[in-house]
Structure 1
Amino acid sequence: MTTDHSIEGQPSIAKAALFGLCPQCGDKTLFAGLGQFADKCTNCGLDYSSYNVGDGPAALLTMVIGALIIVLALIVDSAFRPPFWVHVVIWVPITAALTVITLRMAKAALLAAEHRNRAREAGKSDLL
């Protein structure tokens, strides 16, 4: 059985990722800019800087979106044979928009998952 909120007041990871919601209170305070996390939630005070999302989403999304755009560009080129400038006008904005949108969602999903699972860096007490 899946529920929308696993803990009362906390959004699901999918909702937090799609809408930029704070993983603790569900307020729309996760991002301060286009792809930059806010320092903390203005509603509940959750410190977003304590989470380590890293660059994993950027590398993966760059490869996936790059492959998708190349395939689409080859299909368009073989079907219509447009001049090179048409490819630039079409694919550069689409690539940039897809990268920003999906990177934002991936980073938010990782932060929400870290919060939900209480993930943290290993320390000396975690050693055998």
Structure 2
Amino acid sequence: MDDQTDRRPHDLTLGGDAPEPRPVARSIRRGVFNRCPKCGEGRLFSGFLRSVDQCAVCGEQLDHHRADDFPPYIVIFVIGHIVVAGYLATELTLTLSSWGQLAIWVPVAIVLSLLLMQPAKGGVIGLQWALRMHGFSGEDDQPADLLSPRDDAR
């Protein structure tokens, strides 16, 4: 077979070479496990939630990310489901006072929050890298829908 019959329609790119593929699931998984989303070798965090500026192995710039509030939302969503399900299961099976329930589920929520925050942030950084968001595309991060200046002369 020649090259033309081997091509699929979605392989066609206009205006030059196609950018390197960035699989989303692989990038998120690498971020969750504290690894560079590009090479999977370098560490993603230099502290608990402080990300490195660039990968020590492949040199990929990682300081563009804007994880902001999304990782805590993910953690709250996951832990809320775990704690509420656990509370309800405990309420149905054991006879505990409200203080007893608090003594169980508040520490569980705190510990799970601390355990899940870094993987959630790493996953969000991996997602942003895979989708070429916030400077990971190599271009300036400018909004595509800039409005023209208003004409106040009316």
> What TM-score do you get using the length of structure 1 for normalisation?
0.70
Q: For the residues of structure 1 that align with 2:118 and 2:128, how far apart are their CA atoms?
A: 16
What are the superposed Cα offsets for residues 8-29 of structure 1, whole Å, 9 maximum, x if unpaired? xxx9124313311101221241
When structure 1 is superposed on structure 2, of 37-46 and 109-118 the one drifting more is 37-46
Q: For the residues of structure 2 that align with 1:92 and 1:72, how far apart are their CA atoms?
A: 12
Is structure 2 residue 47 aligned with structure 1 residue 33? yes
- Give the aligned residue type for 2:67: V
Is structure 2 residue 92 aligned with structure 1 residue 73? no
* SS at structure 2 position matched to 1:44: coil
CA contact (8 A) 1:61 1:102 kept: yes
The count of corresponding residues between Structure 1 and Structure 2 is: 119
Identical-residue share of aligned pairs (%): 24
Q: For the residues of structure 2 that align with 1:60 and 1:93, how far apart are their CA atoms?
A: 19
Is structure 2 residue 113 aligned with structure 1 residue 99? yes
Q: For the residues of structure 2 that align with 1:14 and 1:81, how far apart are their CA atoms?
A: 41
Runs (5+) with no aligned partner, structure 2: 1-20, 136-140, 147-154
Q: CA RMSD in A?
A: 2.8
Over 3 Å counting, the alpha-carbon distance change for 1:67 and 1:19 in structure 2 is: closer
Q: For the residues of structure 2 that align with 1:18 and 1:102, how far apart are their CA atoms?
A: 9
When structure 1 is superposed on structure 2, of 71-80 and 60-69 the one drifting more is 60-69
Per residue, is there more helix in 1 or in 2?
1
CA contact (8 A) 2:29 2:126 kept: no
CA contact (8 A) 1:27 1:43 kept: yes
**Residue equivalent to 2:104:** 90
CA contact (8 A) 1:19 1:28 kept: no
How far residue 92 of structure 1 moved from its aligned partner, in angstroms, is 2.6
What are the superposed Cα offsets for residues 32-69 of structure 1, whole Å, 9 maximum, x if unpaired? 22333223322233332211112022124314422431
CA contact (8 A) 2:35 2:42 kept: yes
Over 3 Å counting, the alpha-carbon distance change for 1:89 and 1:35 in structure 2 is: farther
- Give the aligned residue type for 1:16: R
CA contact (8 A) 2:70 2:124 kept: no
